[in-house]
Amino acid sequence: MLVIVKNNYDSLSLEAAKVVADRLKKKPNLVLGLATGSTPLGLYKELIRMHKYEGLDFSKVTTFNLDEYVSLPPSHDQSYHYFMQNNFFDNINVDPRYIHVPQGMAKDVTQFCDWYEERIKSFGGIDVQVLGIGANGHIAFNEPGSSLGSRTRIKTLTSTTREANRRFFKNDETVPKYAITMGVGTIMNAKELLLVASGNDKADAIKSAVEGPLTAMCPASIIQMHKEAFVIVDKEAGSKLEGTYVDTWETIIFD
Ligand code: GLP
């Protein structure tokens, strides 16, 4: 695990974008795992800039998103489909046939989840998986208590996660109760992980994920077991870390 502490949100976004761009240049048909939430927005913005002004090419890329709310159609402005389309896919040259976001409206959720797992495998697995982190230590929608070996499935959202999302919906009742999410085991199968976190409200979660005990009560702590994981945080999110960490990945090569 390589932990990188940057001065601010903008520099953490640039650092994360450099990693993705590097992998994409080396492998034009990269299989890219993507996350929603506000944190990766700066990373997506920088990748869009690189596409527009530096010719970064996504035409052969396949994407798999981590999660989606159950019962929200892709046209709903709070669905993760909508979020990804607006904030990323519409602004790069990815082939729509190779975009995958879990289907929150799937009639047979179990069958869909099995298909999603198989589909990831059929592309040779995810090369780089972008991750955010919830203030309670969740990754994707793997809430505390999620099995560390779990696969893509339906999960009930905790009250803290629903409260955190409340601001995006009209009232309490319309905040989704369930989501389809890649499992912790699915995420761990990605060849590289790229977790980004920003702000003081993520400091405890980052401390537990990076330096705490490995526990299902902080699903993000599984990242300690991954062979090639980046954790890129700003000073606020990294403020509770006790170890000494680097401020760039560029000179570092994994063993
Ligand atoms: C949601 C998403 C997660 C994301 C988290 C944090 O719960 N399912 O994938 O990491 O929000 O979002 P933010 O970056 O806005 O704090």
- pLDDT digits over 22-58, tens only? 999 999 999 999 999 999 999 999 999 999 999 999 9
For residue 188, what pLDDT is reported? 98
Sheet holding 178-181, edge to edge: 67-69, 178-181, 153-156
Residue 241's pLDDT band (boundaries 50, 70, 90)?
A: very high
Residue nearest to atom 11 of ligand 1 (CA): 37
Ligand 1 centroid vs 39 CA: distance in angstroms? 7
Side-chain-side CA neighbours of residue 115 (13 Å): 12
**pLDDT tens readout for residues 189-204:** 999 999 999 999 999 9
pLDDT of residue 83 exceeding 60:
yes
pLDDT of residue 248 exceeding 90:
no
Residue 75 in 3-state DSSP?
coil
For residue 255, what pLDDT is reported? 42
Task: Report, in angstroms and rounded to the nearest whole number, the Rg of the chain calculated over CA atoms.
Answer: 17
For residue 252, what pLDDT is reported? 58
Residue nearest to atom 3 of ligand 1 (CA): 140
Ligand 1 pocket, mutate which of 12, 34, 36 (most atoms under 8 A from CB): 36
pLDDT of residue 97 exceeding 60:
yes
Q: Which residues in 94-176 belong to E strands, given as ranges? A: 99-100, 128-131, 153-156
Ligand 1 centroid vs 168 CA: distance in angstroms? 13
Ligand 1 centroid vs 134 CA: distance in angstroms? 5
Return the exposure string of 33-70: e unless at least 16 CB atoms fall within 10 Å of the residue's CB, then b.
Answer: bbbbbebbbbbbbbbbebbeeeebebeebbbbbbbbbb
Residue 173's pLDDT band (boundaries 50, 70, 90)?
A: confident
> In angstroms, rounded to a whole number, what is the distance separating the alpha carbons of residues 16 and 202?
17
The contacts of residue 209 (CB under 8 Å, 6+ apart) are 133, 137, 195, 218, 220, 221, 223, 224, 231
Ligand 1 centroid vs 255 CA: distance in angstroms? 30
Residue 230: closest CA among 23, 8, 42? 23
Residues enclosing ligand 1, CB less than 6 A?
Answer: 35-39, 66-67, 132-134, 140-141, 161
Instruction: Please answer whether residues 190 and 126 qualify as being in contact, where contact means their C-beta atoms are separated by less than 8 angstroms.
Output: yes
Instruction: Please answer whether residues 135 and 199 qualify as being in contact, where contact means their C-beta atoms are separated by less than 8 angstroms.
Output: no
Tokens standing for 3?
């932990």
Return the active site residues: 67, 136, 138, 143
